[in-house]
Amino acid sequence: MRINENVYLFEKIRGANSYLYISDDNDVSIIDTGMPGNAEKILSQILKIGISIEKIKYIILTHSDIDHMGSVADLKNITGAKVAIHENEAPYLLGEKNKKRKGIIGLIFGILFKFIKTQNIAPDIILKEGDFIGGLRVVSSPGHTVGSISLYNAGTVLFSGDAIITDRHSNIKGFNTIATADLFEAAKTISKIKHLEFEVLLPGHGKPVLEKASDKLKKYNKI
Ligand SMILES: [Zn+2]
């Protein structure tokens, strides 16, 4: 689905939202990949848009949860694109560390990891606060996970990963409290993002906010 001239939201992806971002300099990036098994769906939609596979330069992960990184290994193998993730999240992508989650979410993630094979993968690019990649600025957004990021282009877009999610009517829902590792950090991240200006919000889950998104976020006070 075309969001605007720079952004597409892939359709029928299992797991988290997966996006295509085309920068003003024509750098092409995939942002998040959904669960394992989505690579073909993503690539066929990119071809339909009229972009050839070798044009895909980066696969940027907002964090390393399976519903966001599930198809990254397949996509990297096919496209040769460079995989980028925040420095604090890289050990989880590599499989050097496992996230410890409490309660019901811990249980669900435990079961997912047992039954769904994830391929550990070495990132090609390690990101930190303020870096630029594919025409987007890295905004460190810890809370949901320790190395979560948002990706920002001033005045136009913010890809928020799971730092800010929405419902199916594009209403901002803050973050999912039961799936968040550190609630205090997650609330601080939202306060930080409230200082940014963007027209369109592209969340990890839920429907994008297409107009005046940063104004709507500023009015959000349920945290
Ligand atoms: Zn998620």
Position 43 confidence tier, pLDDT thresholds 50, 70, 90: very high
CA 204 to ligand 1 center in whole angstroms: 6
Residue range(s) defining the domain that contains residue 162: 7-219
Instruction: With a cut of 90, say whether residue 88 has pLDDT above it.
Output: yes
Indicate the Cα dihedral angle 157, 161, 162, 166, nearest 10°.
Answer: 40
Domain count, the chain: 1
Q: Has residue 96 got a pLDDT over 90? A: no
- Asked if the model's pLDDT at residue 100 lies above 70, the reply is no
State the pairing for strand pair 82-86/125-127: parallel
Given a contact cutoff of 8 angstroms between Cβ atoms, the answer to whether 167 and 158 are in contact is no
Share of the chain above pLDDT 70, in %: 93
Query: Domain for residue 47, yes or no?
Result: yes
Q: Residue 220: what residue type?
A: Y
Both tokens of residue 17?
Answer: 């939202």
Do the domain assignments include residue 142?
yes
Average pLDDT, stretch 13-25?
97
Q: Where are the beta strands (DSSP E) in 89-129?
A: 125-127
Q: Has residue 35 got a pLDDT over 80?
A: yes
pLDDT per position as a tens digit, 53-64: 999 999 999 999
Q: Tell me which of 86-95, 96-105, 148-157 is least confident.
A: 96-105
**What pLDDT score does 113 carry?**
63
The pLDDT of residue 108 is 73
Confidence (pLDDT) at 103: 67
Three-state SS string over 62-91 comes to: CCCCHHHHCCHHHHHHHHCCEEEEECCCHH
The confidence score (pLDDT) of residue 18 equals 98
Helix, strand, coil percent values for the chain (each to nearest 5): 30, 20, 50
Is 2 part of a structural domain of the chain? no
Tell me, yes or no, whether 1 lies in a domain.
no
CA of 65 to the centre of ligand 1 (A): 6
CA of 197 to the centre of ligand 1 (A): 23
CA of 77 to the centre of ligand 1 (A): 23
- Domain membership of residue 212 (yes or no) is yes
Q: Are 147 and 64 in contact (CB under 8 A)?
A: yes
Domain-embedded: residue 211 = yes
Token representation of residue 37? 């098994």
Whole-number Å distance, alpha carbon 67 to ligand 1 midpoint, is 6
Phi/psi at 120 (nearest 5 deg)?
A: -70, 150
Confidence of residue 165 (pLDDT cuts 50, 70, 90): very high
- Give tens-digit pLDDT for 173-221: 999 888 888 899 999 999 999 999 999 999 999 999 999 999 999 999 8
Instruction: Report how far apart, in Å, the C-alpha atoms of 213 and of each of 1, 19, 70 are.
Output: 19, 17, 28
32 dihedral zone (left: phi>0; alpha: psi -120 to 50; beta)? left
Check pLDDT > 90 for residue 118. Answer: no
- CATH number of the domain that residue 170 is part of: 3.60.15.10
Q: DSSP class of residue 202?
A: E
Give distance in angstroms: CA of 64 to centre of ligand 1: 9
